[in-house]
Amino acid sequence: MDAPRIVLGVIGADCHSVGNKILEAFFAEAGFHVVNLGVMVSQDEFLDAAIESNADAIFVSSLYGHGLIDCEGLREKAVERGLDKIVLYVGGNLVVGKTPFEEVERRFKEMGFDRVFRPTVDLAEVADLLRRDLEALKKD
C-alpha cells in the first residue's frame, strides 16, 4: 500500500513555525507522505493542497488561541469541494484561557474534526490513530 498522504499547516494568522517543522520531520520519518504548507495557511490553501495531492488527512495546527474562529467551516468547505472522506485532525493551544480540554474537544468535534489533540500529545500515538482511522474508512 502507498504511504498515507497528509497535509500539514498552521492555520490563520499564526506564525508559530517550530512545532510545524517537528511535525513534518516526525511524520515523514514515520512513513507518511507529508505535504507541509508551513505557517499562516488559509482554509482554501489546505483544501487546494489536499485535492491536488489526493491527501488522506489534513492536520491543522493552531498555537495562538484563535483556533475556533480559524477552523470554523473547514469541514463544510471540504465537503463542498469534494473532499467528503478526508480525515481532519487539529491540535495545539486551540483556545485562549483556561477552558477545560474536554470542552475544547467537544467544540472542535462539533465543527467536524475527527480528532483533537493537546499540545503535549505523543506524536507516535497520533500516527497510530491515523493509521487506524484510515483502515476504518477503507472498510466503510
Minimum distance from residue 122 beta carbon to other proteins (Å): 26
- For this structure, is 133 an active site residue? no
- For this structure, is 14 an active site residue? yes
Q: Which residues bind other proteins (CB under 8 A)?
A: 2, 5, 7, 13-16, 33, 35, 37-40, 44-45, 48-49, 51-55, 64-66
User: Considering beta carbons, is residue 48 or 133 the nearer one to other proteins?
Assistant: 48
CB contact at 8 A, 74 and 43: yes
Minimum distance from residue 60 beta carbon to other proteins (Å): 16
Q: Is 104 helix (H, G, I), strand (E, B) or coil?
A: helix
Cβ partners under 8 Å of residue 3, min gap 6:
31, 32, 33
Q: Which of 2, 16, 133, 140 is catalytic?
A: 16
- Cite the active site residues: 14, 16
